[in-house]
Structure 1
Amino acid sequence: MTVAPAACTTRSQRPRIFVGVPIFAEVLQALAADFEVVAPCGTDTPADWSGPALAAAMAGCDGAFVAGTVPVDAALIAACPTLRAVCTMAVGYNNIDVAACTAAGVLVSNAPDVLTETTADFGFALMMAAARRIAEGEHYLRAGRWKHWRYDLLAGADVHGATLGILGMGRIGQAIARRGAAGFGMPVVYHNRSRLPEATEAALGARWVDKDTLLRTADHLVIVVPYSASSHHLIGAAELACMKPTATLTNVARGGVVDDAALADALARGVIASAGLDVFEGEPAVHPALLQVPNVVLTPHIASASLRTRRAMADLAVRNLRAVFGLGEEAGRPPTALNPEVLARVG
């Protein structure tokens, strides 16, 4: 296997692929079968890339295998004129300036679909943990505070039969809706930029409502919208004030969709009952106030983290890279291209 430890320095006949995140050894081996691989992170050494360091590491490379932790902006694209493809193993791609890539003729792909069910499982589990105060209960027990039975000891909210609200009804939102309606008998209300077809709503047992109605009626609100400038702080102090004091909020979307400071304040003051968060503004940093309130379940962006799913995400990024460079059955047709209009220029 040809895996260079640092930046590209010599030229071979094969395209050079920069791997900017630690990844499975088998994935590196699969890439090395077709490419010259530059993998400074290897399988277990995360890197906090700065602009200059990343540009230096990627210099002379033709493709990049990244995840949500690798920032690909216009300056990086300009500094890497040989770059032809940026393929992320994540479904979210707000770390990639797609417009800049498109202008430079760089193909961008992400990894939708393969993580839908795993992320929906986790989102539902996080919502249940918040509703039933599971993290609080574990901390209470571990601290040796459990001495007696009480009728109200860590009493939370029921999930079965409660109203499930979903903000963002894409693939993952629909998968969460199916779990709630079919498995827990939950009435489902949702808000999305565009309404689903009536047949899809009927199959999901879901009803479209405006955002204000969603906030007022949901017993358990799950957020699964993509991050963009228009969704920044989509849920802030004003929105939280519209929710029921018994409601829970779960965010498995992206940090920045929820105003973390406002949420911490709302949790501390009992504006809502509890929350479950897998994503944060400025992650891996977490707003200090969120660490001080007991009624929130915090996890480190692991909603898609089953081994099978993470491998499938990585494999999809490899498929996209191979297709961009004319390899395999999908040659010239990257399966999940975000800007396929550049294919004529990179082919």
Structure 2
Amino acid sequence: MPEVVETRLSELFDVRLRSDDTPMTREQLVSAVQDADVLVPTITDRVDAGLIGQAGERLKLIANYGAGFDHIDVATARSRGILVSNTPGVVTDDTADMAMALMLGVTRRIPEGLTAMQEGSWQGWAPNAFLGGRLGGKRLGILGMGRIGLAVARRAQAFGMQIHYHNRRRLRPEVEDGVEATWWESLDQMVARMDVISVNCPSTPSTFHLLNARRLQLMKPTAVIVNTSRGEVIDENALVRMLKAGKLAGAGLDVYQQGTQGNPDLRAMPNVVMTPHMGSATREGRIEMGEKVIINIKTFADGHRPPDQVVPSML
């Protein structure tokens, strides 16, 4: 974690820190859960039922460094009397910024222009060179209108986009009015009418492949899809087929279903902008995440419930 966070952790607790910035091996995770009172994993650490089953009696808190917790078997942890906490809210603006950057990158063909300049192949201004589309006036459909979805809506509203959203529950009227948003009870009807879809819902069993082949087929061929949430929400293979067939105009992706690299076919497409899960990658955001971890651990160590405890209603 950032040095300032590790320093503070070391001042407060007896801490075993990682010496490098790579994922822990399974053996290292097993050793950690057998000895520690608190485990601080990241999204790359799979804390499943098998790992939790090997935990020692001392482990009582999994203080996740990150907002998403789909890599942790929360139900099994709870059954073992182990609490789970996360770091919500601190990367809301950073992730929303990335969603807008991906929208602009795809619609304005920024990576293609960058490549032309880096390769020295640009021949000068031309009326039809690198033609993209403007965001103003376009319909944006937000899938998941939580903290991040609302932050995306506010930014998109400033660009002159029309805001639409699909949620399990409709927002309060005053929240809707604040971003002039239209709620769609039917996801099918919404995706069929949008120019841009922004995926901002968490990864849960109910959102796995929520944008499956059938729903992707409903989208307009001029539409763009952006995902800064979790790769599993989109059927990546179906997305590739749609893009190859010209049935979607483009995609901006910061997360992937197929490992860290995404589908190889995506990397070869000029109308796909891919970034390496950079949504929360700001110095300020990562420090604030660490501060949340410290508060959760300190509160728990003092005998109280962590303020950011993951509870069943969130699953």
TM-score by length of 2: 0.94
The range that moved more, 221-230 or 276-285, is 276-285
Q: Does 1:192 align with 2:139?
A: no
Q: 2:305 maps to what in 1?
A: 333
Q: 1:202 maps to what in 2?
A: 177
Which residue type is aligned with residue 125 of structure 1? A
Contact 1:117 1:175 (8 Å CA) reproduced? yes
**Following the alignment from structure 1 to structure 2, what is the Cα–Cα distance between the partners of residues 88 and 140?**
41
Q: Does 1:211 align with 2:211?
A: no
Q: Does 1:134 align with 2:110?
A: yes
Q: 2:72 maps to what in 1?
A: 96
The partner residue of 1:236 within 203, 212, 216 is 212
Which residue type is aligned with residue 31 of structure 1? L
**Following the alignment from structure 1 to structure 2, what is the Cα–Cα distance between the partners of residues 190 and 137?**
31
**Following the alignment from structure 2 to structure 1, what is the Cα–Cα distance between the partners of residues 312 and 291?**
19
Q: 1:94-148: per-residue Cα shift (whole Å, max 9, x none)?
A: 0011101111111111111111111111111111111111112211332332114
Q: 1:281 maps to what in 2?
A: 257
The partner residue of 1:35 within 6, 10, 13 is 13
Q: Does 1:123 align with 2:99?
A: yes
> Where does 1:294-309 land on structure 2 (aligned, <5 Å)?
294-309=270-285
User: Aligned residues, how many?
Assistant: 311
Deviation (angstroms), 1:204: 1.4
Q: 1:164 maps to what in 2?
A: 140
Runs ≥4 in structure 1, deviation > 4 angstroms?
A: none
Deviation (angstroms), 1:321: 0.8
The range that moved more, 73-82 or 203-212, is 73-82
**Following the alignment from structure 1 to structure 2, what is the Cα–Cα distance between the partners of residues 228 and 190?**
19
**Following the alignment from structure 2 to structure 1, what is the Cα–Cα distance between the partners of residues 31 and 125?**
61
- Aligned to 1:59, the other structure's residue is in SS state helix
Q: 1:176-209: per-residue Cα shift (whole Å, max 9, x none)?
A: 111112x112111111111111221111110001
Q: 1:69 maps to what in 2?
A: 44
Same amino acid, percent of matched pairs = 37
Contact 1:290 1:296 (8 Å CA) reproduced? yes
**Following the alignment from structure 1 to structure 2, what is the Cα–Cα distance between the partners of residues 124 and 163?**
14
**Following the alignment from structure 1 to structure 2, what is the Cα–Cα distance between the partners of residues 206 and 120?**
16
Point out where structure 1 has 5 or more consecutive residues left out of the alignment: 1-22, 342-347
Contact 1:27 1:315 (8 Å CA) reproduced? yes
Which residue type is aligned with residue 202 of structure 1? D
**Following the alignment from structure 1 to structure 2, what is the Cα–Cα distance between the partners of residues 320 and 244?**
45
Contact 1:157 1:246 (8 Å CA) reproduced? no
- Aligned to 2:84, the other structure's residue is in SS state strand
Q: Does 1:25 align with 2:14?
A: no
Contact 2:32 2:39 (8 Å CA) reproduced? no
The partner residue of 2:287 within 311, 319, 329 is 311
Deviation (angstroms), 1:165: 0.9
Contact 2:86 2:308 (8 Å CA) reproduced? yes
**Following the alignment from structure 2 to structure 1, what is the Cα–Cα distance between the partners of residues 119 and 24?**
35
**Following the alignment from structure 1 to structure 2, what is the Cα–Cα distance between the partners of residues 226 and 208?**
18
**Following the alignment from structure 1 to structure 2, what is the Cα–Cα distance between the partners of residues 48 and 37?**
16
- Aligned to 2:62, the other structure's residue is in SS state strand
**Following the alignment from structure 2 to structure 1, what is the Cα–Cα distance between the partners of residues 6 and 62?**
16
Q: 1:250-279: per-residue Cα shift (whole Å, max 9, x none)?
A: 000101111112212211221111110000
Which residue type is aligned with residue 148 of structure 2? I
Point out where structure 2 has 5 or more consecutive residues left out of the alignment: none
TM-score by length of 1: 0.86
C-alpha RMSD of the superposition: 1.6
Contact 1:260 1:290 (8 Å CA) reproduced? no
Q: 2:32 maps to what in 1?
A: 57
Contact 2:99 2:228 (8 Å CA) reproduced? yes
- Aligned to 1:36, the other structure's residue is in SS state coil
Q: Looking at CA atoms only, which structure, 1 or 2, has the larger radius of gyration? A: 1
**Following the alignment from structure 1 to structure 2, what is the Cα–Cα distance between the partners of residues 340 and 296?**
36
**Following the alignment from structure 2 to structure 1, what is the Cα–Cα distance between the partners of residues 259 and 144?**
22
**Following the alignment from structure 1 to structure 2, what is the Cα–Cα distance between the partners of residues 204 and 308?**
26
